[in-house]
Amino acid sequence: MASTESSSPSPQHVVIVGAGFGGLYAAKSLSKDRSFRVTVIDKRNYHLFQPLLYQVATGKLAPSDIATPIRHVLRRRPNVRVVQAAAIDLDPAARQVILNGGIRIGYDILIAATGVKHSYFGNDAWREDAPGLKTIEHALEMRQRIFSAFEAAELSEDPVEQARLTTFVVVGAGPTGVELAGAIGELAQHTLKDEFHHIDTRRSRIILAEGAAQVLPSYPADLARAAQNSLKKLGVEVMTRTLVTHIDETGVRLKDADGREETVEAATVLWAAGVRASRFGQALANRVACTLDRAGKVQVNADLSLPAHPEIFVIGDLAHYAPDGATPLPGVAPAAMQAGDYVARLLKARRRGRSLPSFRYRNQGSMAVIGRHAAVGDLRFLHVRGVFAWYLWVLVHMMGLIEFGNRLVVMTRWAWNYLTRNSGSRLITSVPEARTDHADRAHRSGN
């Protein structure tokens, strides 16, 4: 059972670092109780609906469709203060969070919800040539690389160079990788096929490389097979039991389970293979001697607090919680939401001298979409696929958006895209270095 503490007549100051799903749910719940004063710290001024980032990367949605200003979400919560800054360290003895610039913010209770970033498994040099997908900036970079590659291929007169430019490699076949590869396949096979007259986008090569034995490794085998079949219909080559051994500006080197290696020349390589905890997790480990798992996530007690520090909680992707040796909490939005809500309820109970049972995650299932009218879902008691799963996926993601206005805009865009296959957010808004390289090489190949 979670421990109790005596109540105090003055408002208790709760500092929440990170305004993702977990942090925002905790803040919204605590804001309803005036016995708390809440400060939300985030390096960005918006809450991001990460599950739809891949749709920004492939031009189906605009960044503003899946992001909402934090201040707007909490505008009617007068006991909540929002601070845009990066939390880089903490002083547990003084109970202070240290921000960039050396500013310190004191706390009675600290909730760390800073999430994860990409892991390249010790090959950080790959980051430049294989961007991941965790932020809007990442999504826009991917969007520019994808559409710039098609534009450069249209300019080229060299068939070999055209093939390189229209080869896309997605590394990692979890939900993000599967959805990203499927969306690129949808672009190449349908959306763009009539828009380019010098190349046939349907001849694009899209490779999805996964080290495990199936795509969606955490899903049941029947759903993984259904997802793989849907990917193949979109022209995606699925390579399971395949590892990436090298990435550079020319492409990737792959090695299969038998040790055979293949070099794939590709202008666009996208990373969806691994994550590690944020820098604030390492700061926690340094300051309070907490235990980190292999991915850098912080191991927590049954009430999501740190051992020897009941005033510090860790939730969301940053937390490693495996009760009684069970499977650790998944890095998904529902787990973060439930954890944020739990910690808020626990703090309210403590203020009233009560306790709560240990945190228990309620698995609501998982879903992945693979192009138009194709999706798979593990609802625990039921496996769904195809059109029904796709409509269910749309409903679930609509409800996950924080603001009603976002839901209306996204639903309108999806309806238009569905009826016309015309994605309206395919603008190349700047000419990144990668785009210039594509164009220069294509121009040289045509001379």
Looking at the annotation, which residues are catalytic?
A: 179
Q: Is the Cα dihedral 168, 172, 177, 182 positive or negative? A: positive
Q: How far apart are CA 243 and CA 239, in angstroms?
A: 9
3-class DSSP assignment, residue 70: helix
Which of 362, 360, 289 minimizes the C-alpha distance to 322?
Answer: 360
For 215, the token pair is 């795509």
Count CA within 13 A, CB hemisphere, residue 127.
13
Count other Cβ atoms within 10 Å, centred on residue 6. Answer: 7
Count of CB atoms situated within 10 Å of the CB of 270: 28
**Alpha-carbon dihedral 63, 69, 73, 79, rounded to 10 degrees:** 160
Strands 375-378 and 383-385: antiparallel
Asked whether 25 and 344 are in contact (CB, 8 A), the reply is yes
In DSSP notation, 200-241 reads: -GGG-EEEEE-SSSSSSTTS-HHHHHHHHHHHHHTTEEEE-S
Torsion sign over Cα 74, 76, 79, 82: positive
Number of H helices, E strands in the chain: 12, 25
Task: Give CA–CA dist 1/5, Å, rounded.
Answer: 13
Q: Give the three-class secondary structure for 162.
A: helix
Cite the beta strand spans of 104-218 per DSSP E: 104-106, 109-112, 116-118, 167-171, 205-209
